[in-house]
Structure 1
Amino acid sequence: MEYLLIVGLVLAALFAWGIGANDMANIIATPIGGGAIKRKHAVQLYVTFLVLGALLQGHMVMKTLGKGVVRQLDLIGAVSSSLAAITWVYLASLLGLPVSTSLSATSGVIGVGLAYVVKTGEWGLLNLSVINKIIVSWVASPILSMITAMWLYLLLVRFLSTPRGERVVRALTAIAVAWDGYSFGTNDVANATGVYIAVVGGTALAQRVLGVNINETLLLALYGAVFIALGGVIMGWRVVDTVGYKITRLDPIGGLTEALSSALVVWLFTTIPYMVFGYGIPISTTYASVAAVFGIGIAKFRSLRKGVNVKVALLIVLSWILTLPVAAALGLLYYFTLSYLVRGAL
């Protein structure tokens, strides 16, 4: 079965690369587009703090996807959930839907859990308490991000709309990008590698392959973070230019507000649930970022109609509605298909 683990880790690397290529823009595009920070400085902060976030707190959400949604995820289940997430993200991209990798990865795991239920008849294999908290958080997190951005923008405009304030905004933007990158690392590295912490187990794999004793959750976090960073730095700039300059070009205070709001929300949903009940919540950094931009627009124009791009909002709602059933169905289908193929090959 080791060959299947290798396949799974290759899939994890490809998924991580895609996450970086698409989602780096969530962290640095609006601050760059607003002129508050240079590209080179922004990407240096992003990469550094992405890796730090993954190493220091990535385990919080990795535990949720690997051991929380489904009580005992096996190797076939882990690979099936990766395939489900990758397939749905690719299909949604072809359809032009702004899909979330976090929602896709989690839904794929839920689908594998449903496959276990179909196979055994035991609903206890699915941790419904954790799943309910995750789904509620998927609704609450963008709303909180929008409200936070709305009030924070009004506050910052009031106190920093001066020549001296511009220098403060630039300094704060660097801090905000670093925090946003850190929060991104804490939450999104799990999308690529979280499902594999349940199947590598202890330090046996690291000892056998690398000849060292190292916590394999930490190793998987680093592995995912490296490929997320590479995907962003090598292939993420077109998305950065689109988000930063062509969709909504924010002023420097707007760019700062977006970064602070999304960073705060993502970090809170990673950290607080883990401290309270032992599982960090995988939420969409994309939806948190877009919701923050909506909040800034509402504050800026004093109007919900002018501040929110209705077309984008409807596309997000549509992709949210579709992701759970489609990715879950794919996870279930891949599980039974791989189970048949693997057992037939043994």
Structure 2
Amino acid sequence: MIIILVYAIGILLCLLMAWNLGANDAANPTDCAVGSGAISMKKAVILFAIFAALGGILLGPFVMKTIDRGIISKEELPEGVMIMGSFAAILAAGLFVALCTWKGMPTSTTHAIIGGVLGFGLIAAPQLVNWDKVFIIFGSLLISPLFAVLVAFGLFYAFRAYFRKPRKKQTDMILSYLLLFALGFAVMLIICQNVFEFSLFESLGVTLLSATILGTLGTFWIHKRYQTPQSGERTDRAGNVKLMSNLLIVALCFSAFAFGANDMANATGAFVTPTMAISGAPTMEVMIILALLGSFGMAVGGLTWGYRVIRTSSFRVTRLDPLTGLAGEYANAFVIFLFTVVPYYLIGFGIPISTTHSSIGAIIGVGIASMGFRGVNKSTVGKILLTWSLTIPVVVVLSAILFGLFNILIPT
């Protein structure tokens, strides 16, 4: 009976976290495209729901992660403590992220979960907390958004210089291919690392082939979407806007797919962690069911409350246009790739960063580059920074309280 109850609670919390992922993190792949006017919010949310669900269904079953994130040495914890702690961590994180989403504030679901794990860990076994990992995570809170600001700043000027010059059709074809190839390369290498755990040689082979195919198909799709100048003619401003807008739409789909594939583990970990403590790792059949449930939850979260955070990220931080949106989107992708993939193959582990933090940092960067500091809404940015600074401490306290209550109600 107890085992059935644990499984049932795990599935409910899995759905809760999946809904939170879709509701709060839908802004990450969509904010630049929506804010620039490349696509309406309604269409962007629908595309997010479709491609995030596809990523979760097709690749989510292969990602089996517990929620501990290396913050605590879970092997040394008693079974009952780990189960109750997992429930406290997920519930605390879910409640905080839901509150942030309701207020329209972007926050990091991953960092909320980390705060939840740290909270019950400090109560259950403070000696088992891996403080080195905690300090690395806190460092990433500062480094990733600042680095995203700098990268976005540089990309804005590079793209502006390119689009200001008269060009031939072939030049735009080459640019489209290079940008989509780079995006596909980053997305597929992250998937090869996090989902399939391939070696560097295997990852490069799969990634190069996939990026070549995606870049080629995407380039032809983009140039079929609008009337490009004939060979030998020059592009005009309307052509520039169309090109940038379509590049943003393709980037939205790529990013949403990668989000569904990689971040599904934030939801399924709510089930995987307690069940591993009881009966070992779930079977592939169970992971497929969890991926379907999680994908459904993410899609529903994006479709129902996704607009709340998208509205803040897209319109209330700075004024975006196709040029700034394009620079912000690719800056975000580059920063995520640089922090998660490159260190993994160089030193054996990726630096945990928040895609939310890098996305907002990139938007701030293009706002400063295009209009100076006056172009950034300091009130909104201040609220976002306050939310980020409160995420881990608030969830730590809430998780500790919930863990204490669980232990009183159901002694382990």
TM over 0.5: yes
Residue in structure 2 matched with residue 87 of structure 1 by the alignment: 95
Residue in structure 2 matched with residue 327 of structure 1 by the alignment: 395
**Pairing 1:171–2:246 present:** yes
Q: In structure 2, which of residues 302, 320, 323 is the aligned counterpart of residue 232 of structure 1?
A: 302
Residue in structure 1 matched with residue 29 of structure 2 by the alignment: 27
Moved more, 154-163 or 143-152: 154-163
Q: Report if aligned partners of 2:110, 2:266 keep a CA contact under 8 Å in 1.
A: yes
Aligned to 1:65, what secondary structure does the other structure show?
Answer: coil
Q: Give the Å deviation of 1:92.
A: 5.1
Residue in structure 2 matched with residue 104 of structure 1 by the alignment: 112
Q: Report if aligned partners of 1:153, 1:299 keep a CA contact under 8 Å in 2.
A: yes
Q: Give the Å deviation of 1:54.
A: 4.6
> How far apart, CA to CA, are the structure 1 residues paired with 2:83 and 2:36?
45
Distance 1:18 1:64, change over 3 A: closer
Residue in structure 1 matched with residue 203 of structure 2 by the alignment: none
Distance 1:230 1:95, change over 3 A: closer
Moved more, 321-330 or 263-272: 263-272
Q: Give the Å deviation of 1:85.
A: 0.9
Moved more, 160-169 or 81-90: 160-169
Q: Give the Å deviation of 1:159.
A: 0.9
Distance 1:39 1:94, change over 3 A: closer
Q: Report if aligned partners of 2:344, 2:350 keep a CA contact under 8 Å in 1.
A: yes
Q: Report if aligned partners of 2:25, 2:106 keep a CA contact under 8 Å in 1.
A: no
Structure 1 residue runs without a partner (length 5+): 208-212
Moved more, 84-93 or 252-261: 84-93
> How far apart, CA to CA, are the structure 1 residues paired with 2:342 and 2:62?
10
Distance 1:18 1:253, change over 3 A: same
Amino acid at match of 1:338: F
> How far apart, CA to CA, are the structure 1 residues paired with 2:54 and 2:349?
19
Residue in structure 1 matched with residue 194 of structure 2 by the alignment: none
Q: Give the Å deviation of 1:299.
A: 0.8
Q: Report if aligned partners of 2:19, 2:300 keep a CA contact under 8 Å in 1.
A: yes
Distance 1:238 1:147, change over 3 A: same
Identical positions, percent: 35
Distance 1:24 1:299, change over 3 A: same
Amino acid at match of 2:392: L
Distance 1:55 1:270, change over 3 A: farther
Distance 1:63 1:182, change over 3 A: same
Residue in structure 2 matched with residue 284 of structure 1 by the alignment: 354
**Pairing 1:251–2:321 present:** yes
Q: Report if aligned partners of 1:50, 1:184 keep a CA contact under 8 Å in 2.
A: yes
Aligned to 1:70, what secondary structure does the other structure show?
Answer: coil
Pairwise CA RMSD: 3.5
Residue in structure 1 matched with residue 382 of structure 2 by the alignment: 314
**Pairing 1:116–2:147 present:** no
Q: Report if aligned partners of 2:145, 2:358 keep a CA contact under 8 Å in 1.
A: yes
Q: Report if aligned partners of 1:188, 1:282 keep a CA contact under 8 Å in 2.
A: no
Distance 1:172 1:158, change over 3 A: same
> How far apart, CA to CA, are the structure 1 residues paired with 2:361 and 2:316?
17
Residue in structure 2 matched with residue 68 of structure 1 by the alignment: 70
Higher Cα Rg: structure 1 or 2? 2
> How far apart, CA to CA, are the structure 2 residues paired with 1:139 and 1:61?
28
Moved more, 74-83 or 315-324: 315-324
Q: Report if aligned partners of 2:35, 2:314 keep a CA contact under 8 Å in 1.
A: yes
TM-score (normalised: structure 2): 0.69
Q: Report if aligned partners of 2:20, 2:98 keep a CA contact under 8 Å in 1.
A: no
CA deviations 1:205-248 (Å, max 9, x no partner) are: 897xxxxx417566645543331122102332354455445654
> How far apart, CA to CA, are the structure 1 residues paired with 2:343 and 2:271?
21
Residue in structure 2 matched with residue 148 of structure 1 by the alignment: 151
- Superposed, 1:198-237 pairs within 5 Å as 198-201=273-276, 213-214=283-284, 220-237=290-307
